[in-house]
Structure 1
Amino acid sequence: MKIICLILLILPAFSTLAQEDEKVRDIVESLAENAPDETDLSELTEKLAYFRKHPIHLNKTTPEQLKSLVFLSAAQIGSFFNYLHSNTKLLDVLELQAIPGFDIATINRLLPFVTLNIAEGYDQLKAKSLLNSGNNDLILRYARLLQQQKGFKALPGSRYSGSPEKILLRYRYQFSNILSAALVMEKDAGETLFNKKTGMDHLSGHLAFFKLGRLKKLVLGDYSLQFGQGLTLWSGFAFGKGPDVTSVAAKDAGLKPYTSANEASFFRGVASTIDLGRNIHFSPFISYRKLDASLKALPDGRFTLSNINISGLHRTQTELKNQRSLGQLAYGGAVQYVSDNLNMGIIGYRSAYQHQFVTGTALYNKYAFTGKQLNNTGLHYNYTFRNAYFYGELAHSLGSGWAMVNGAVATLSRKLSVVVLHRNYSKNYHNFFSSAVGEGTETSNEQGLYAGLNYSPIKSLTWSVYTDYFKFSWLRYRVDAPSSGYECLSQLSYTKAKVFKAVLRFKREQKPQNPDAGSTVAGLQKVIKQSYRLEWNWKPTPKFSFQQRTEIAQYQKGNKPTETGFLVYQDISYAPMSSRISGNMRLAYFNTPSYNSRIYAYEDDVLYGSGSGNYSGKGIRAYINVRCRPFKRVDIWARYAIYSYSGVETTGSGLDEIEGNKKAEVKLQLRYQF
């Protein structure tokens, strides 16, 4: 009740995010559900915010650039260039309505990020323009839990070596669409800001040039590589199955600078994309990084390892010992033929490691990678023919297995579009840089068939549905036999102009798992997860908007009783046009019997701090975000968020355990643009 009263008292003083950021927020929230749990969405948010200020020139854009607008499907991008090829150029952005597959909702999303004005080029690249016309963006962020975690207490043995603050510094420079530079420094809670072994806990940066004659891209420092459907070479953010059924067709961006604070998913070195003429592009790269890994010493002084740690946490003595203990060298390239309606490419590269991988004793690890070097090759394609988009990739880890994916997206009419996808990943396919669509956490040991459709009988109503059947020919973690399962989703969306939107969704997943410890049941047990969601968004006036969601999650394993959990939350936003102060808030009540029936929901945060909230247990969740703009180029964010659990004496586990039933976090962020 104290939390409720606090929110009601503070509400009149706040407004929501400024309207120039509202479009970005809505898109990120809708796409966050396609991402894996607890995915860092800052890279996506930052990219959309950039195009908000620097719109894409539609008559001079490329397929690669439009793929950065993640809400556009691969089929829509193909249709756009087919239309542009037939009509030479667009005379007005509203002409997008004439392109097959571009509905009103898609066009409304697209308009803030595109233009028909001429962009700046290298002829404006002078010392004075670099200083006066470039965009400088400096962000400082501070966050910490208000309660003390067990790991920060004076305990014998394992404890956190650093302070409880989480600190981020990020600087980015951008000149038009031809030059960028960035520097990111971060420390997590429990880490020291500097240590003798590595210096700054996490330091990332890049310098990138674009459109430099034949040299389309050149990146020095940290970068991402995304080609094909993610089978052969992919790092960084990737979508999977979700309410947008066309999201299973990956939109590869090729080479791009890396600006996220995520410490695992990037390359470090030099990479470029060179235009060889006749629509042929060559992208060579070389990368060397020191990764976190758990090593085992052998009697002869050599070391072996079984896996690479990707958490990025260096808090305890064990985590510090594993920090940057494994050297990784990767080098190779991709050759692509790129035109408006056809993209074909071949990829080849080698990844070499300082120490040798060995498999564990568990039987499911029988086909895992062993050795110190891995060579990967792949072929990928996508082709747009009229209103159909075909795509696929064939990948091979030399000396072991194969992986293949093929699919098609077709716009059958203005009301109906369909997608089908078939995948086959052999149990001995190995790849450290793969992120293809699938049910498993790794791109191996899986076969599947996916089919989905979007149907809009009227402009205001859309029905999305998909079914995905998958099977595993070999054992998996906690699954001691070959197995199979399925996942399905059905969603009905109703939209009335920009005033009201309602969503009704059902999702079900079924797959087997080993019995729980101590169970007398033999063989695999069926695990069923399903959820029901009702959500509505209402904006009665330009100042006020409301979002409400009710979600029920069910979990059943074998013959055990079904667990049923639920979440109800209310978001309130108030947005006066001329206010220097803005903010938003949420009040949620959740009740789930265990972690198995947990519910994830997108939460607003400070700029570039967006993510998913984990609602597990029983209690109340509330947060308040405030943004203040005291000066034209300065923004200050403040966030207070709290979990208040019922019927518990502690929260968390291990070194993260907190005495009491509350877990509160404060976050402050300063942004200076100059």
Structure 2
Amino acid sequence: MIIIAVEFLSPIHLIAQQRQPWEEYLQQLSETEDFESVSWEDYYDFLSDLTTHPMNINTATREDLEQLPFLTAQQVEDILAYLYQYGEMRTINELAMIGSLDYPQRKLLEYFVYAGHIEDKQFPSFRKIMQYGHHEVTANINIPFYRRKGDSSIYRGYPYKHGIRYNFRFSDLVRFGIMGAQDAGEPFFADCNRWGYDYYSFYLQIQKLGKLKNLTLGRYHLQFGAGLIMNNSFGLGKIIALTNLGHTTHAIHVHSSRSEANYLQGATATVEPLHNLNITGFLSYRNIDASFNQDDQSIKAIIKTGYHRTSKEILQKQNATESLVGGNINYFWNGFHIGTTGFLTGFNHPYHPGRNALYQHFMPYGQRFWNASIDYGYVNHSLTLQGETATNNRHGIATLDMVSWQINNSLSLLALYRFYSHKYYSFFSNSFSEGGNIQDEKGLYTGINWRPIPHLSLMEYTDIVYFIWPKYGASKVGSHAFDQFFSASYQLQKWNFDVRYRIKWREKDNQKKTKLVYENIQRCRIAVKYQDTIWYSCTSLNINHYQKESNSTTGYMVSESLRWNYKQLQSAIILGYFHTPDYHTRIYTFEPGMLYDMGFNNYYGRGIRYALYLHTNIGKSVTLTTKIGTTDYFDRAQISSSYQQINHSSKTDMEMQIRWRF
């Protein structure tokens, strides 16, 4: 839990102000989570969009509130119960009347919701929507001050990354948008991209139209239950689970990010024929990138990078199709909920991934697949029980069950058990796991979130995992993993002191691959922060340690982030020195960046990082953001490898973004 000291801001005023507090929340999660196991890009894009267009808490549904990653199931129910009992909130300060919300959560929540008046319960006319709707156009470009090896002749486009997006909103009822994006090296208005950008996304969403709760056309994401069969959005990390006590959700998001993977394309709709009974249907048909086996008739792998820079990558662009049809039914009653989800999916070519290694033996194989699940739960003022049990066409079983106990406003406990059969799989699953996939894993996770005194927050979790079948890097049957995390955060007026420590043991093959030995990874972060209405400073030390057999390495990074806010100008200076011997001790950091564009970097080797960030308002409707950053390495004469190789020891990038709201 993070402590945030900010003044009360109206929704419009919020847009013009710095976004650091909620970004710090994401930063603290990312620096101690497994970065590769969480869809941070979709996560960041969703939260960026929500802060830019906060929801009216007086019209928010259960599904709306469940999308906020820091709220527990009990807190969602408490907010809805307050609105039912007392009517609409006149001011967001009424959140203080909800006992289960502590001060940091209330201040964080103010970045995503506002208390607006409910003018008319009837759906507005088309004329009113067009007259009072809000338009937003955002354009961005990334300019590298260096050349990659592929830029000379291999890449088919120029080295600039850029994009543009248009979004129209009317309250939380209507949303329409289209975006185009281009990665560096991809052709623009040339070759395979004769219509301009390499990637486009489009969507139309209508909500709360009588019994039609949601209609989404175009590209979208779905989340049902605990995500065992359907969650192609952001997942449930271990620290996020402890923060929100593992709440599950039923949600439909539009796909507005640059990510070219994990979205659905077609139509989905949710209707409420009876009170608290929701029925959702979805249909998707989309082209995907794939590599083929030597017979050129079967798919070897589904490619999710989204890169189309070289002739080979262009040949793999959208050369296969994926179809999906299914539905969900869920019912809420007096704290209980139960739901069921099922779908069929298929490809226009058989999916035949390689099965040469033992860990690949139970990968999905075929052309048509199905998945089905039941999710269930109960929530009252202190106890939450939730879970999901799923199966597939191979009759593999996956189940995730959790119980959380809110003893009081200062202490909560969480226990989570999961069992994922080695025969189970789903192409659209994304849930709590250690191995990265919802397959071949059995584990018990326990956590505690405690505020012993008003200004001190403590968190701890322990996760014990067992893998039945061989895994990548662990060729023997029956490997184990152990993961433990501890954090302490203390707030003293404008100062915050934060310490986080995580240690992981996981069995891997020894050098001779004759037996399993433990791989040990330790991460520690110490941060001191100061914040007032004008200045913000964060001094941090990250230390990573890796050990396996006789190989032992330690890396660290010291960094300083200094931010200044005055009237229409926000600025930041980032300085950091890193010294990490290898990739095992790499360090992830977060930097302020462009809206909708993820600002995560990872560093290994020895060098310095420095960047300057500027954000200003031009009039009432235009904002301009600029960032220029340099990474200078001391231990190498070239950066990266293959076509991405830079024949220099440093690289500098400049990012620019302009946003026009009217």
Please give the TM-score of this superposition, normalised by the length of structure 2.
Answer: 0.92
Partner Cα separation in structure 2 for residue 549 and residue 206 of structure 1 = 40
For residue 494 of structure 1, give the secondary structure of its aligned residue in structure 2: strand
For residue 75 of structure 2, give the secondary structure of its aligned residue in structure 1: helix
Aligned partner (choices 409, 426, 431) of residue 421 of structure 2: 426
Aligned partner (choices 534, 537, 540) of residue 546 of structure 1: 537
| Structure 2 residue 661 is the aligned partner of structure 1 residue 673 | yes
Q: Which segments of 5 or more consecutive residues in structure 1 lack a partner in the other structure?
A: 1-15
Superposed, 1:277-292 pairs within 5 Å as 277-292=274-289
Aligned partner (choices 200, 203, 207) of residue 210 of structure 1: 207
| Structure 2 residue 477 is the aligned partner of structure 1 residue 493 | no
Amino acid at match of 1:373: R
For residue 600 of structure 1, give the secondary structure of its aligned residue in structure 2: strand
Aligned residues of 1:555 and 1:564 also touching (Cα < 8 A) = yes
Amino acid at match of 1:460: H
Sort the Cα spacing of 1:29 and 1:340 in 2 relative to 1 into closer, same or farther, 3 A.
farther
1:571 aligns with: 561
2:523 aligns with: 531
Aligned partner (choices 209, 215, 220) of residue 217 of structure 2: 220
CA deviations on 1:575-601 (whole Å, 9 max, x unpaired) are 11x2x3322120000000001110111
Partner Cα separation in structure 1 for residue 306 and residue 118 of structure 2 = 38
Amino acid at match of 1:533: R
Moved more, 53-62 or 343-352: 53-62
2:461 aligns with: 466
Sort the Cα spacing of 1:264 and 1:24 in 2 relative to 1 into closer, same or farther, 3 A.
same
For residue 410 of structure 1, give the secondary structure of its aligned residue in structure 2: strand
Partner Cα separation in structure 1 for residue 305 and residue 657 of structure 2 = 24
Shift in Å, 1:550: 0.5
Aligned residues of 2:22 and 2:108 also touching (Cα < 8 A) = no
| Structure 2 residue 262 is the aligned partner of structure 1 residue 265 | yes
Aligned residues of 1:549 and 1:568 also touching (Cα < 8 A) = yes
Sort the Cα spacing of 1:210 and 1:549 in 2 relative to 1 into closer, same or farther, 3 A.
same
Partner Cα separation in structure 1 for residue 277 and residue 73 of structure 2 = 20
| Structure 2 residue 603 is the aligned partner of structure 1 residue 606 | no
2:116 aligns with: 117
CA deviations on 1:101-128 (whole Å, 9 max, x unpaired) are 3211111222343344324557573455
For residue 214 of structure 2, give the secondary structure of its aligned residue in structure 1: strand
1:130 aligns with: 129
Sort the Cα spacing of 1:443 and 1:370 in 2 relative to 1 into closer, same or farther, 3 A.
same
Shift in Å, 1:610: 2.8
Shift in Å, 1:218: 0.7
For residue 469 of structure 2, give the secondary structure of its aligned residue in structure 1: coil
Moved more, 38-47 or 134-143: 38-47
Superposed, 1:165-244 pairs within 5 Å as 165-194=160-189, 196-197=191-192, 199=194, 200-242=197-239
| Structure 2 residue 331 is the aligned partner of structure 1 residue 337 | yes
For residue 315 of structure 1, give the secondary structure of its aligned residue in structure 2: coil
For residue 650 of structure 1, give the secondary structure of its aligned residue in structure 2: coil
For residue 63 of structure 2, give the secondary structure of its aligned residue in structure 1: helix
2:3 aligns with: none
Partner Cα separation in structure 1 for residue 120 and residue 69 of structure 2 = 25
2:6 aligns with: none
CA deviations on 1:274-312 (whole Å, 9 max, x unpaired) are 1111321111111001111111242xxx61123211111
Aligned partner (choices 388, 395, 408) of residue 393 of structure 1: 388
Moved more, 141-150 or 236-245: 236-245
Shift in Å, 1:58: 3.7
2:613 aligns with: 625
Residue identity (%): 27
For residue 434 of structure 2, give the secondary structure of its aligned residue in structure 1: coil
Aligned residues of 1:222 and 1:266 also touching (Cα < 8 A) = yes
Aligned residues of 1:82 and 1:386 also touching (Cα < 8 A) = no
Shift in Å, 1:495: 1.2
Aligned partner (choices 350, 357, 361) of residue 356 of structure 1: 350
Sort the Cα spacing of 1:114 and 1:669 in 2 relative to 1 into closer, same or farther, 3 A.
closer
Aligned residues of 1:551 and 1:566 also touching (Cα < 8 A) = yes
Aligned residues of 1:78 and 1:389 also touching (Cα < 8 A) = no
| Structure 2 residue 588 is the aligned partner of structure 1 residue 593 | no
Q: Which segments of 5 or more consecutive residues in structure 2 lack a partner in the other structure?
A: 1-13
Sort the Cα spacing of 1:663 and 1:196 in 2 relative to 1 into closer, same or farther, 3 A.
closer
Partner Cα separation in structure 2 for residue 378 and residue 243 of structure 1 = 23
Aligned residues of 1:374 and 1:397 also touching (Cα < 8 A) = yes
| Structure 2 residue 574 is the aligned partner of structure 1 residue 582 | no
CA deviations on 1:443-496 (whole Å, 9 max, x unpaired) are 100001000001111110011000001111001112101201110000011013
Aligned residues of 1:470 and 1:486 also touching (Cα < 8 A) = yes
Partner Cα separation in structure 2 for residue 120 and residue 51 of structure 1 = 22
| Structure 2 residue 134 is the aligned partner of structure 1 residue 144 | no
Sort the Cα spacing of 1:42 and 1:478 in 2 relative to 1 into closer, same or farther, 3 A.
closer
Aligned residues of 2:88 and 2:117 also touching (Cα < 8 A) = no
Sort the Cα spacing of 1:50 and 1:485 in 2 relative to 1 into closer, same or farther, 3 A.
closer
Aligned residues of 2:607 and 2:634 also touching (Cα < 8 A) = yes
2:10 aligns with: none
Sort the Cα spacing of 1:323 and 1:415 in 2 relative to 1 into closer, same or farther, 3 A.
same
Shift in Å, 1:43: 4.7
Sort the Cα spacing of 1:52 and 1:658 in 2 relative to 1 into closer, same or farther, 3 A.
closer
Aligned residues of 2:508 and 2:518 also touching (Cα < 8 A) = yes
Sort the Cα spacing of 1:616 and 1:377 in 2 relative to 1 into closer, same or farther, 3 A.
same
The count of aligned residue pairs is: 644
Q: CA RMSD in A?
A: 2.4
1:7 aligns with: none
CA deviations on 1:632-654 (whole Å, 9 max, x unpaired) are 21111111111100021111111
Partner Cα separation in structure 1 for residue 53 and residue 514 of structure 2 = 60
Partner Cα separation in structure 2 for residue 90 and residue 139 of structure 1 = 32
Aligned residues of 2:558 and 2:576 also touching (Cα < 8 A) = yes
Sort the Cα spacing of 1:121 and 1:292 in 2 relative to 1 into closer, same or farther, 3 A.
farther
CA deviations on 1:4-39 (whole Å, 9 max, x unpaired) are xxxxxxxxxxxx995353444344434444765266
Partner Cα separation in structure 2 for residue 381 and residue 34 of structure 1 = 30
Partner Cα separation in structure 2 for residue 91 and residue 388 of structure 1 = 30
| Structure 2 residue 483 is the aligned partner of structure 1 residue 503 | no
Shift in Å, 1:617: 0.7
Sort the Cα spacing of 1:672 and 1:508 in 2 relative to 1 into closer, same or farther, 3 A.
same
Sort the Cα spacing of 1:138 and 1:514 in 2 relative to 1 into closer, same or farther, 3 A.
same
Partner Cα separation in structure 2 for residue 112 and residue 428 of structure 1 = 43
Amino acid at match of 2:430: S
Partner Cα separation in structure 1 for residue 124 and residue 389 of structure 2 = 42
Shift in Å, 1:164: 0.6
2:549 aligns with: 558
Partner Cα separation in structure 2 for residue 388 and residue 447 of structure 1 = 24
2:11 aligns with: none
Sort the Cα spacing of 1:103 and 1:521 in 2 relative to 1 into closer, same or farther, 3 A.
same
For residue 106 of structure 2, give the secondary structure of its aligned residue in structure 1: helix
For residue 375 of structure 1, give the secondary structure of its aligned residue in structure 2: strand
Partner Cα separation in structure 2 for residue 124 and residue 359 of structure 1 = 49
Shift in Å, 1:236: 1.5
Aligned residues of 1:162 and 1:189 also touching (Cα < 8 A) = yes
Sort the Cα spacing of 1:421 and 1:140 in 2 relative to 1 into closer, same or farther, 3 A.
same
Please give the TM-score of this superposition, normalised by the length of structure 1.
Answer: 0.91
Partner Cα separation in structure 1 for residue 525 and residue 71 of structure 2 = 25
Aligned residues of 1:240 and 1:248 also touching (Cα < 8 A) = no
CA deviations on 1:617-672 (whole Å, 9 max, x unpaired) are 10001111112322321111111111100021111111111111101111111111
For residue 449 of structure 1, give the secondary structure of its aligned residue in structure 2: strand
